[in-house]
Amino acid sequence: MDQSEILKKVLCEEALNAEEKQAHIENLEADPDLARSLAGWQRFRAYMRDRIPSPRDFVLYSLVFGGHAEDLSEEEAAEVNEKWGALDSVIESDPGYSEVAAQIERDRQDFLTCWELEDNRSTARVLPLRTFRMAAAIAVLAVSVITILLLLNQRDVTLQVATVDPGEYERVLLPDGSIAHLNGPATLRFDEQNFPRSVELTGVALFDIAHQPDQFSVQTEEAVARVLGTRFGVRSMNGLTQIVLESGRLEVASKIENPQSVLLVPGQMTSIAQGSAAPTPPVEVNIEDQMGWTGFIFFRETSLRKAAVLLSTSRNIRVDFDPSLINERVTGTFAPDVTAEEILDALALTLNAEVLREGETYRIVP
Amino acid sequence: MASGNFDPGLVQRAQKGDEYSRNLLLRRLSKVFERYFKAKIGNQAVVDDLTQCALLRVHSGLPALKQPDKLKAFAMKAALFELHDYYRGRHSPKEKTYEPQMLPERRDSPDEWFGSKFDAERALGTLTPRARRILELREHGYKYKEIAEILDTTETAVKMQVKRAFEKMRSIFTD
């Protein structure tokens, strides 16, 4: 057995197997100097450990050192100030400090990124609340940038493929700032590096398109939808593509040669079957009911009674409200990953109401 | 600055004892912490532990938060304290490098080998700057693999430096 290798493992705190352990013990018994040296090593390591400031002091010191003194409370700043001399002298003599400080800066940045992602996940836009006869309005625009699961196609390094399983939801941030909300099963393909503002979709998605001078296009097997800046849902399944426009303007055409196109205005739907020369004429639809397949909840001047039903159905909970709120109306859009509690909180905020939980039922009361 | 999910109004209501606001705030913060620790650590059991500990820090410190608009910095520090406590704690060797009970002398601690004669500064002086950085980073709680990444080298090379450092110190320990 290689004693040198065992010793290295011991020094680097790696676990020994039974055989190695026995060999190590025998080695220590045969070589008292080695045993003494290991004891000294252990004590030396403890000495080094004791020299290092506590993680808390180190983090605070590093924040100040990194130019983020504003992150500290008055008490923390006073604390660091008091210990500054001692911390400074230890850290000055610690060649590993700069690496750890750099790591703390990265840790800080990573946290702030996570914070922004969560903070922007559901941003409420509260419209004016007049009297109980006026519509209470809220818009929760899910314009989040989240960590996305993008699978890199090995043959072409710039082609990104986002795949979402049935029943799952994923928000994909596109290079131009547009967002595709995939409601599985769905697959989205796009060229990340040379993004031509064009994506290919199979399955169901809702698109929030960043307004830019260039057109944005979504291609399915059957259709191509071109827009400037808008939000619309696409369902492409079994040889049929349905497109519902929620806001903006949208041109939809067949993918065959010399296609005919239709222009949608908000609240209209068209569909196109494989091989068809033209999309069906646009028809008016109820967004609340006709875009539920995107996984989003849409409230458009929706009565609180209907909103409660939509929320109950979508999130599998029971929602009730005080009869005095019967005439209230709400407007808003909620992404699939916004929880029932968050939606209720947004509604309560707008209605100047409260949410009480009574057993399994959430009750909105003035 | 006011912001979507963490506006100061919500923080103030939570500070005043409004249970619904406090629960909502903690629920939202738990998502941030979970996302963060998942990115930093990965292991779900550890992520859950760290998230709970960070939430506890926020929960107990929230009433003393003087500026509700500083929630982000407040939560960030809670997360960093927990993360670096974890790094430091995971280094606590579960298996001692030296196991006195296994030796014929049955000495109880390294202190009994050396008494007050142990000269740590002299031992420190034998280290090359690189070896010292490695050992210091290790005491900060980084794994050898992580140290190798930080120093842009291999884990094997790092461990070899540790062994060399020990070999250089042996003469001091056996004087």
* Range with lowest mean pLDDT among A82-91, B15-24, B26-35: A82-91
Cross-strand pairs, A272: A241
What ranges do the domains of chain B cover?
Answer: 8-91, 108-173
What pLDDT score does A134 carry?
23
CB–CB contact B136 A12 (8 Å): no
Which of B39, B70, B110 lies closest to A42 in CB terms? B110
| Alpha-carbon distances of A197 from A191, A225, B67, rounded to whole Å | 9, 12, 43
What pLDDT score does A2 carry?
80
The answer to whether residue B29 scores a pLDDT higher than 90 is: yes
Radius of gyration, CA atoms only, chain B: 23
Residue pLDDT, tens place only, A233-254: 888 887 888 899 888 778 888 8
Which of B3, B31, B80 lies closest to A107 in CB terms? B80
Per-residue pLDDT averaged across B18-36, rounded?
88
Largest CA distance in chain B: 68
Residues in chain A within 8 Å Cβ distance of B83: 107
| Cβ–Cβ < 8 Å for A95, B131 | no
Which of A37, A38, A55 lies closest to B84 in CB terms? A55
Phi-psi region of A297 (alpha: psi -120 to 50; beta: other; left: phi over 0): beta
Interface test with A, best of B5, B108, B167, B168 (most A CBs within 10 A): B5
CB–CB contact A37 B169 (8 Å): yes
Residue A137's φ and ψ, nearest 5 degrees, are -130, 140
The DSSP string of A209-238 is: PPP-SS-EEEE-SSEEEEESS-EEEEEEET
Roughly what angle, to the nearest 10 degrees, separates helices B71-91 and A55-65? 130
CB–CB contact A63 B77 (8 Å): yes
| Cβ–Cβ < 8 Å for A183, A204 | yes
Tell the CATH topology of B8-91: Rna Polymerase Sigma Factor; Chain: A (1.10.1740)
| Alpha-carbon distances of B58 from A43, A206, A326, B54, B85, rounded to whole Å | 37, 36, 38, 6, 16
Residues in chain B within 8 Å Cβ distance of A56: 81, 84-85
Tally Cβ neighbours within 10 Å of residue B83.
25
Which of A33, A48, A76 lies closest to B139 in CB terms? A48
Comparing alpha-carbon positions, the chain B residue that sits nearest to A117 is B32
How far is A83 from A66, CA to CA, in rounded Å? 17
At residue A125, the 3 state secondary structure works out as strand
What pLDDT score does B112 carry?
61
The residue that leads in pLDDT, A230 or B12, is: B12
Comparing alpha-carbon positions, the chain B residue that sits nearest to A349 is B10
Residue A257's φ and ψ, nearest 5 degrees, are -70, 150
Q: Please list the ranges in chain A whose pLDDT falls under 50.
A: 122-157
How far is A87 from A89, CA to CA, in rounded Å? 6
A92-114: buried (b, 16+ CB within 10 Å) or exposed (e) per residue? eebbbbebbbebbbebbebbbeb
Kindly report the CATH number that applies to the domain delimited by A123-141+296-365: 3.55.50.30
Choose among B14, B77, B65, B43: nearest CA to A115.
Answer: B77
Q: Return the CATH number of A151-290, one of 3.40.30.10, 2.60.120.10, 2.60.40.1180, 2.60.120.1440.
A: 2.60.120.1440
Q: Which two tokens stand for residue A185?
A: 């099963």
Per-residue pLDDT averaged across B105-115, rounded?
55
How far is B101 from A44, CA to CA, in rounded Å? 20
Which of B73, B85, B151 lies closest to A71 in CB terms? B73
What ranges do the domains of chain A cover?
Answer: 3-107, 123-141+296-365, 151-290
Size of interface A-B (CB pairs under 8 A): 197
ipTM of this model?
0.82
* Contacts of residue A230, Cβ cutoff 8 Å, sequence gap at least 6: A207, A209, A245, A246, A247, A248, A249, A250
Kindly report the CATH number that applies to the domain delimited by B108-173: 1.10.10.10
What pLDDT score does B116 carry?
60
Comparing alpha-carbon positions, the chain B residue that sits nearest to A146 is B35
What pLDDT score does B101 carry?
42
| Cβ–Cβ < 8 Å for A160, A170 | no
CB–CB contact A96 B133 (8 Å): yes
The percent of residues in chain B predicted with pLDDT above 70, rounded, is 82
β-sheet with A361-365: strand ranges across:
A318-321, A361-365, A354-358
Q: Burial level of A284, CB count in 10 A (0-12/13-18/19+)?
A: exposed
Choose among B115, B110, B109, B164: nearest CA to B135.
Answer: B164
What pLDDT score does A133 carry?
23
